[in-house]
Amino acid sequence: MKITMEEAAKKLMAAQRVLITAHVNPDGDAVGASLGLAALLREKGKTATVVLDDKLPRNLAFLPGYDEIRRPDGTPPDVDLLVVLDADPDRVGDALKGISGVPLLNIDHHITNKQTADFYYIENRAATAEMIYDIAEHLASSFPKAMALALYTGLSGDTGSFRFSNTRPSTFRAAARLLEAGAEPHVVSENFEVKPLSVFEGQVAALRTLEMTSGGRVAGLYLDQELTAKLESSEGFIDMIRVIEGVEAAVLIRALEPARCRVSIRSKGLDVTRVATKFGGGGHVRAAGCTLEMPLAEAKRAIQTALDELLASS
């Protein structure tokens, strides 16, 4: 059932024990929105637990509550509301495995959301963190600093530090209010920018796989299973090639298993959701992704064919 922001807030307040999760391969928005909502609920006297089924980005370890994020352990928690943020419920790995009979609320800013949850609050906003901010503003007269820092991180992450086209006046208004509540932009940016040497070494290895196709209109990085396993993180890899002159779409494909690949696509204007949704994925007009149950070489061909069709029709 589709619900409004006010109705989502009411459901959150009606619950006492809440499990919060987000998509695998969590980014700044997934983690920031999750921790921000948890901080808000705890401020309201609720029990809030964040469970994420994947390795967490180390550069977000500065966020209050980061060390309390749990991995699924196979034991169904005692909760009365499940909240999935920043993704469809089928993209959270095993975070909800074994849980039944508990209402599921989905809060997401992706236009391709499949709307399969019991209740879903979906809006085309800059970040899911901005939607959690709206809920917080509706429910609270003052914001805890931990919540402000987490939500600002989510906003900053999904807008490219407020550089991307999804940045709107409402985004800046939310950011300003979060600064007033204690968020510190320099703390966020300094931590986002810090990377261990191994990440730079991984970038060098990834760039060796660079292929330019479609007459220079598509740039791609194709990481085999061995390289993918070695990488601590591939965050930011696709942005390195998206800015190449003449490139209209950038692709990063990582082989997770012999016949399973994770695909990320970015563009400067093309609607790349038209590619991602062909393969069961989704996302935004300029940033989308999917998972392909096929070997790397086959995945490359499939995505390239879909991109060529997109370019031809644009």
- Please check whether residues 89 and 103 belong to one and the same domain: yes
Neighbours of 52 (CB within 10 A): 23
Mean pLDDT of 43-47: 96
- Please check whether residues 83 and 36 belong to one and the same domain: yes
* Structure token pair of residue 166: 């999804």
- Please check whether residues 244 and 137 belong to one and the same domain: no
Domain boundary among 143, 165, 193: 193
Mean pLDDT of 136-154: 95
- Dist CA 253 CA 50 (whole Å): 28
pLDDT band at 245 (very low <50, low <70, confident <90, very high): very high
Neighbours of 313 (CB within 10 A): 9
With pLDDT > 90 as the criterion, what percentage of the chain qualifies?
A: 84
- Please check whether residues 10 and 35 belong to one and the same domain: yes
Mean of the per-residue pLDDT values of the chain: 94
pLDDT in tens, 267-304: 988 999 999 999 999 888 899 999 999 999 999 999 99
User: Under the phi-then-psi rule, with left for phi > 0, alpha for psi from -120 to 50, and beta for the rest, what region is 154?
Assistant: alpha
CATH number where 60 lies: 3.90.1640.10
Give me the amino acid identity at 201.
E
- Dist CA 22 CA 9 (whole Å): 18
pLDDT at 29: 97
pTM: 0.84
Mean pLDDT of 203-212: 96
Of 8-12, 74-78, 138-142, minimum mean pLDDT range: 74-78
pLDDT in tens, 75-122: 888 999 999 999 999 999 999 999 999 999 999 999 889 999 999 999
List % helix, strand, coil for the chain (3-state, nearest 5).
Answer: 40, 20, 40
Q: Which residues, at least 6 apart from 51, have a Cβ–Cβ distance to it below 8 Å?
A: 19, 20, 21, 69, 70, 71, 72, 77, 95
pLDDT band at 27 (very low <50, low <70, confident <90, very high): very high
- Please check whether residues 204 and 135 belong to one and the same domain: no
Q: Which residues, at least 6 apart from 310, have a Cβ–Cβ distance to it below 8 Å?
A: 249, 270, 271, 272, 274, 275
The domain total for the chain is 2
With pLDDT > 70 as the criterion, what percentage of the chain qualifies?
A: 100
pLDDT at 197: 87
- Please check whether residues 13 and 101 belong to one and the same domain: yes
pLDDT higher than 90, residue 198: no
CATH number where 237 lies: 3.10.310.30
pLDDT higher than 90, residue 196: no
Are 35 and 146 spatial neighbours (Cβ–Cβ below 8 Å)? Answer: yes
pLDDT higher than 90, residue 261: yes
Neighbours of 7 (CB within 10 A): 14
Q: Which domain holds residue 227?
A: 198-313
- Please check whether residues 254 and 105 belong to one and the same domain: no
Domain boundary among 135, 162, 193: 193
Domain boundary among 167, 193, 219: 193
pLDDT band at 44 (very low <50, low <70, confident <90, very high): very high
- Please check whether residues 34 and 114 belong to one and the same domain: yes
